[in-house]
Structure 1
Amino acid sequence: MYDENEMPRPSNPEIRHRLLSDGGHVIHRLGFNGAGVQDIVAAANVPKGSFYSYFESKETFAAEVVQAYWDSIELRHGKVMYDARIKPLARIERLFELLVEDHAAQRFQLGCLVGNLSLELSNASTEVREALAGILARWEGMIAACLDEAMIRQELDGSRDSKQLAAIIVEAWEGAVLRSKVEGNGDACHRFLQATLKRLLN
């Protein structure tokens, strides 16, 4: 039932975008617990009251931030996974090469927001955990589709379980990114590209 005392939430896409983009960068840099709402709204250059006008809670915000983060990755790099001019296994390798380039641009200091929030919030927020699970399913689904195509083209052993292999690839990647963040260099990510991924796709 409509509550006449309940004020409708404002709809300003530009402010919402700034909060998710600029405020999302704060979450990525400082972590969920390290970033306060004041830090988020200051980065977005909006009044503090605007935050709760657009997001019910900080956890809701984090769930939408990580979704926006993954949407950005798909927008920039996802098309390579559907490029018929590239062999399916090469598409997978290219996707992770592009991701390494993203992390290199940040000097391997920020890590993957999917992995960061998985460590920080998966046991604390059902909302964020469900968002992360959805992203992992989409990511692994893209990889599994390429693996299935490679099997059809007899470029990969047809007895392999594509869904399981896709999950292993993502898990190995997240471990490599975590170590690169700890060490502050790309050694682990490059080992993933040059050794781990090639062995998994062999």
Structure 2
Amino acid sequence: MPRPSNPDVRRRLLEAGLEHVHTRGFAASGIKDITDAAGVPKGSFYAYFPSKDAFSAAILEHYWSDIEARLLPILAAKGAAQERITRFFHALADEHESRDFLLGCLIGNLSLELGSSSEPARTEILSILDRWGEALTTCVRSGQDGAGIRDDLDAAELADLLIEAWEGAALRGKVTRSRAPYDRLETVTIPALLR
């Protein structure tokens, strides 16, 4: 009779996998490296994830769920919509800075690495982009109708543009190991897109 799954083991695998994949990339992160870091036998991996591809999607979900819980509430807080949007992206940039800008955004990283080769990862990235876009759309929409944000473009389109601008800033910040692209996003790009 198979042993019941252990949520703690699954969590440890996800955390170890997230660290390895975010630091080294997906292809360079072996299952044995991940299970060793999680402190579980290699064979245990397949009790929780049917494949490494399925694991990539689970890592992405784990990564985004954390951001969603901690940072997306900024977008729903009180205050002017543009200020909330700027605070949200500033908080994301602070997290990148805490790791010296070496890691970049896992969503962008895995979009580039797996977007055309792993259907589970691509599907999860699309889901994350939809959820992120919905939160930004709601915030943008709250600032339209004379409340400071342009209304000549649909709120969802503006939200997509903000996400695309963020991913570009995160990519450049990773390469330059600098906050400058993030600062330009906050001081130039966000105001230019929203006003």
TM-score range, shorter chain: over 0.9
Report the alpha carbon displacement of residue 153 of structure 1 after superposing the two structures with TM. 4.8
- The match for 1:144 is 137
Aligned equivalent of 1:58? 52
Q: Using structure 2 for the length normalisation, give the TM-score.
A: 0.96
| Equivalent residue letter for 1:192 | L
SS at match of 1:158: coil
The CA deviation at 1:195 is: 1.0
CA-atom RMSD, angstroms? 1.3
What amino acid maps onto 2:74 in structure 1? V
Structure 1 letter corresponding to 2:8 = E
Partner amino acid, structure 2, of 1:152: D
Please show how residues 95-174 of structure 1 align to structure 2 within 5 Å: 95-174=88-167
Which of 41, 52, 72 aligns to 1:78? It is 72
How far off is 1:10 after superposition?
3.4
TM-score of the superposed pair, with normalisation by structure 1: 0.92
1:175 is the counterpart of 2:172? no
Aligned equivalents of 1:191 and 1:155: distance in 2? 20
**Equivalent in 48, 68, 85 of residue 42 of structure 2:** 48
Unpaired runs of at least 5, structure 1: 1-6
Deviation at 1:159, TM superposition (A): 2.4
Contact 2:75 2:84 in 1 (8 A): yes
- Post-superposition offset of 1:157: 2.6
SS of 1:23's partner is helix
**1:9/1:115 CA distance change after superposition, 3 Å:** farther
CA distance in 2, matches of 1:106, 1:52: 31
Q: 1:96 offset after TM fit, Å?
A: 0.2
**Dislocated runs of 4+, deviation >4 Å:** none
After superposition, what is the alpha-carbon deviation per residue over 1:55-94, rounded to whole angstroms, capped at 9, x for unaligned?
00001011010111000001111111111x2222211111
CA distance in 2, matches of 1:155, 1:197: 12
Deviations 1:124-181 (A, max 9, x none): 0111100000000111111111111111353223222111111111011101111111
- Equivalent AA in structure 2 for residue 77 of structure 1: L
| Cα distance between partner residues in 1 of 2:88 and 2:181 | 16
| Equivalence for 2:25 | 31
Which of 84, 92, 108 is the equivalent residue of 1:91?
Answer: 84
Equivalent pair of 1:10/1:54 in contact (CA under 8 Å): no
Tell me which structure has the larger Cα radius of gyration: 1
Q: Which amino acid aligns with 1:11?
A: S
Q: Secondary structure of the residue that 2:72 maps to in structure 1? A: helix
Number of residue pairs the alignment of both structures matches: 195
Evaluate the alpha carbon distance shift between residue 182 and residue 61 of structure 1 in structure 2; reply closer, same or farther with a 3 A threshold. Answer: same
Q: Which residue identity is paired with 2:73? A: K
What is the aligned-residue identity percentage?
A: 41
- Once residues 189 and 40 of structure 1 are traced to their aligned partners in structure 2, the CA distance between those partners, rounded to angstroms, is 31
Residue 8 of structure 1: CA displacement? 4.6
